Amino acid sequence: MDPAVVLVISLSCLLLLSLWRQRSGRGKLPPGPMPLPIIGNILQIDAKNISKSLTNVLSKVYGPVFTLYLGTKPTAVLHGYEAVKEALIDHGEVFSGRGSFPVTDRVSKGFGKCVCL
């Protein structure tokens, strides 16, 4: 087979696999815009005015709680006082954990959390 055909078929399979993984992982997440493979929703957010793009575009379409993909990582966005209050006060136990940050894990070599200011 021609190497160009093999390359096109391989890239197409990777694209379809990425789309399938993103769709299958959205079961418990709030609604949000459909992400692009690998880069997520980064192109849908104005980098110069992030708050305006979240307020005017995404929160009006998807409501006060929605999901954005920053790269391949899903991120739940809480927009507005009522959504944040409900999440932190009414459901405080669910939101009390912290995510891991690979850079700080590498710096601390797995011995506790590193506080970086």
Q: Which residues pair with 58 in a beta bridge?
A: none
In this prediction the pTM is 0.62
Phi, psi for residue 31 in degrees, rounded to 5: -65, 160
pLDDT, position 117: 47
Least confident of 14-18, 45-49, 86-90: 14-18
Secondary structure (DSSP) of 10-22: HHHHHHHHHHHHH
Q: Is the pLDDT of residue 21 over 70?
A: no
- The residue extents of the domains of the chain are 3-79
Secondary structure (DSSP) of 7-71: HHHHHHHHHHHHHHHHHHTTTTSPP-PPPBTTTBTGGGS-TT-HHHIIIIIIHHHH-SEEEEEET
Q: pLDDT tens digits, residue range 35-69? A: 887 888 888 888 888 888 888 888 888 999 998 88
Confidence of residue 75 (pLDDT cuts 50, 70, 90): confident
